[in-house]
Amino acid sequence: MVSFTAREVRDILISMFVIAVIFAYIFSRGLLTNGTEIFLNNFILLIPALLVSVGLGFVLHELAHKFVAVRYGFYAEFRMWVEGLIFALFTAFILGFVFVAPGAVYIHGTNISKEENGKISIAGPLVNIALALLFLSLIPFIPHSPTDIVGYELRVIVTYGFIINSILAVFNLIPLGPFDGAKVLNWNPVIWILIFIVAIILAVKAYFGIY
């Protein structure tokens, strides 16, 4: 049975909030030329929407690793990387780009087989692909009225939910070093290729526009 410690819940909530703040700033900073008030209004409006679309994308990715690891009988716990979040804040607010490493799921156990490691690793990117497809399917149903705040929030959720989850899937499937892709490739190259192609297609669609 999957359980969460108080520390783990705290780390998850803090990670989600910091991620939402970072992306809200990145997506709003272009409005600074229009005045501080316009920037702040947009920044504040974006945070709750990005908590759903982007924050969940990062956290559910990690929790997917946890759920699969627990299913195999291992103890797994999400832990926030304070240094990673501080670095993400620095790159966003000082350098103007995003590099987010909010934390990771630590798995305690011995004799993890290549197959188990591969399936635990692929769970995260699969969640991001599933979320990207879900958000993409919802885009045509979101209203576009510029004066509708609820519609604006929903549009932010589905649009950035699709874009960020597509990018996360590709990024984590890179078959190098500590990335999930390296472990998946080591377990089953065919599955890695198929999933990576799907992620690339979604990321390309996100890059070139979704409307």
From the list 8, 37, 62, 115, the catalytic residue is: 62
Whether this model's pTM surpasses 0.75? yes
The boundaries of the domain holding residue 178 are 6-208
62 tagged catalytic: yes
Residue 117 lies in a domain: yes
Residue 174 lies in a domain: yes
Coil, helix or strand at residue 106? strand
Residue 199 lies in a domain: yes
Q: What are the tens digits of pLDDT across the range 73-89?
A: 999 999 988 888 898 88
Which pLDDT score, from 0 to 100, does residue 146 have?
A: 59
Which pLDDT score, from 0 to 100, does residue 145 have?
A: 65
Would you say residue 60 has pLDDT above 80?
A: yes
Would you say residue 150 has pLDDT above 80?
A: no
pLDDT band at 49, cuts 50/70/90?
A: confident
Residue pair 109/73 in contact by the 8 Å Cβ criterion: yes
Structurally, the chain folds into a number of domains equal to 1
Residue 1 lies in a domain: no
Structure tokens at 138: 């919802």
Residues 6+ apart with CB under 8 A from 192: 122, 173, 175, 181, 184, 185
